[in-house]
Each structure stands twice: as structure tokens, then as C-alpha cells.
């Protein structure tokens, strides 16, 4: 029994990510690059695309994988707002349940790909749709698809992208606006902050 407990204590820190599309998502192709011999990154399973359904899938995953027994773990629910008021309200509705289960909601507007775009420039453009963001990346990069390993293309500019994302966030708060409604915005940098913290353990 003591040996089993010791083995459990020696487990590497763990980041759990739930995103729309699971292992076929842009988030998966990006964050898998942060796996190291000292850090595990797992992706929640499930086919839901709405915030409540995704949370339910994530909670099932947490239970099935016994995530709560982990000593060093961070759990993220990564959601696009799509600039849709109904979806934004659904995200707000699940925030309490996420807090109860130590799940941090990470939002991007209109889509996760805005995080990629911040690697190319200090972006102040507003986008009407997720597709507009993807077209802009394609124009800047020459090509784009959700299954591309963008990490390898943009990694040298991630430090600057983090600064830009945080500046956008601070400006939104300073202006008295709700971050979740801001266009554009992304909180992806918070996941990288935790990855940095775990890598120091």
C-alpha cells in the first residue's frame, strides 16, 4: 500500500483540456506540443459542442480517469464564444459548476484561432465570425487548416502573443466591459502560465 501511494505522489503534473472537437480540434494540435517528460497533457473525450454538454463530458472524463486523485492538476474547459449571446449566456450558466469542480473556463472570441493571430501582430481588428479569423490566418501564413501544427510555425512569437492577449484583457477590464463579450479576446495565455508553473516543479 505504501509503495502504491509513493508511486502516486511521484506522478508528473497534469493538465486536462476539454475543447470542442476533442483530439480533432485546433486546441489539440496546438497543446499536445507542450507535453514533456515532466508534464502530462490529456484531452477530455466526448462529442458535445455546446458548453453544458462539454462540461458534462469533462466531468465524466474526470470521474472515469480518477483525475481528482491527482496531486498537481489543472483542468480547463476551452470555449469559443462565437460572438453569440446565447452561447455566452450558456457559458455564464455553467461557470458556478465549473468553479465547484476546480475547472477553469478559457474563452476566446470569436474563436480559439484568435490566439494564433496574436502571434502575427498586435491585433485590434474585430471579426464577425470564426471563419473570418481563419481566413486572416490563411492570408498571413499562406495556408491554414484546423489540423495544422501551428505551434511549430508560431512558437518563436508566443512570448509576444501572451503580452498582447494580457493587454487586451486589461484594456477590456479597464473599460468596464465584460471580458467574455470582448471582440477580440482570448484567455489561452492562462493555460501557458500553468504549464510554466508546472515545469518549475
Regions of the chain where pLDDT drops below 50: 1-3, 6-8
Query: Cell 494564433 sits at which residue?
Result: 116
What is d(CA 29, CA 151) in angstroms, rounded to the nearest whole number?
8
DSSP lists the bridge partners of residue 43 as 17
Helices (H), ranges, the chain: 2-9, 26-31, 51-64, 85-100, 114-117, 130-141, 150-154, 158-174, 189-199
What is d(CA 173, CA 73) in angstroms, rounded to the nearest whole number?
28
| Residue 28 contacts residue 54 (beta carbons within 8 Å) | no
pLDDT tens digits for 24-63?
899 999 999 999 999 999 999 998 999 999 999 999 999 9
pLDDT tens digits for 188-199?
999 999 999 999
Query: Cell 472537437 sits at which residue?
Result: 21
140 alpha-carbon distance from chain centroid: 23
What is d(CA 73, CA 80) in angstroms, rounded to the nearest whole number?
23
Residue 120 has a CB neighbour count (10 Å cut-off) of 17
Amino acid at each position: 500500500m505504501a509503495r502504491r501511494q509513493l508511486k502516486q505522489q511521484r506522478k508528473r503534473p497534469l493538465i486536462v483540456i476539454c475543447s470542442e472537437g476533442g483530439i480533432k480540434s485546433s486546441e489539440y494540435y496546438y497543446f499536445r506540443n507542450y507535453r514533456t517528460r515532466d508534464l502530462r497533457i490529456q484531452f477530455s473525450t466526448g462529442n458535445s459542442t455546446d458548453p453544458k454538454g462539454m462540461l458534462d463530458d469533462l466531468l465524466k472524463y474526470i470521474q472515469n480517469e480518477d483525475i481528482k486523485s491527482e496531486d498537481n492538476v489543472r483542468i480547463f474547459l476551452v470555449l469559443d464564444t462565437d460572438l453569440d449571446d446565447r452561447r455566452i449566456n450558456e457559458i455564464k450558466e455553467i461557470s458556478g459548476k465549473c468553479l465547484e469542480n476546480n475547472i477553469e473556463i478559457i474563452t476566446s472570441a470569436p474563436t480559439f484561432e484568435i490566439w494564433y493571430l496574436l502571434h502575427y501582430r498586435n491585433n485590434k481588428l474585430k471579426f464577425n465570425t470564426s471563419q473570418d479569423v481563419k481566413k486572416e490566418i490563411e492570408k498571413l501564413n499562406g495556408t491554414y487548416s484546423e489540423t495544422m501544427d501551428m505551434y511549430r510555425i508560431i512558437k518563436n512569437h508566443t512570448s509576444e502573443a501572451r503580452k498582447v492577449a494580457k493587454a487586451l484583457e486589461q484594456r477590456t477590464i479597464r473599460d468596464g466591459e465584460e471580458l467574455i463579450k470582448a471582440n477580440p479576446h482570448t484567455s489561452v495565455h492562462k493555460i501557458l502560465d500553468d504549464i510554466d508553473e508546472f515545469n518549475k516543479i
